[in-house]
């Protein structure tokens, strides 16, 4: 997959763009535990900025307990905006692997 990278808005930030072939979909995996407000910011940003690529959002919920987060994750599922996978286990890397396997 061809890509282009350039300096971003400040030190240690980069803007990277990947060329996506027609018909290809991208899986965007968001691992989280609680922090529904941060996930909302991510989803809103993706909706506002990703225009020319087909994508699937996958939220990996690592046993969240905050009701507001759980409500937002349920809303994402009900709208069909994202697939929310529930995960209980030891590590963040395993959550990401779970997401890659689901995509």
Cβ atoms of 43 and 36 closer than 8 Å: no
| Predicted pLDDT at 20 | 82
Q: Supply the Cα-derived Rg of the chain in whole angstroms.
A: 15
pLDDT in tens, the chain (103 residues): 678 888 988 898 888 888 888 888 889 999 999 999 999 999 999 999 888 889 999 999 999 999 999 999 999 999 999 999 998 877 666 655 666 666 6
Measured distance CA(35)–CA(37) in Å, rounded: 5
pTM above 0.85, yes or no: no
| Predicted pLDDT at 102 | 67
| Predicted pLDDT at 47 | 92
């Amino acid at each position: 997959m061809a890509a282009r990278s350039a300096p971003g808005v400040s030190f240690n930030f980069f803007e990277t763009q990947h060329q996506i072939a027609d018909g290809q979909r991208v899986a965007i995996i968001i691992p989280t535990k609680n922090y529904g407000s941060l996930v909302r910011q991510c989803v809103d940003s993706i909706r506002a900025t990703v225009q020319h690529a087909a994508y699937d959002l996958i939220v990996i919920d690592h046993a969240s307990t905050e009701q507001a987060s759980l409500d937002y994750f349920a809303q994402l599922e009900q709208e069909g905006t994202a697939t929310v996978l529930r995960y209980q286990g030891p590590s963040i890397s395993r959550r990401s692997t779970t997401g890659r396997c689901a995509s």
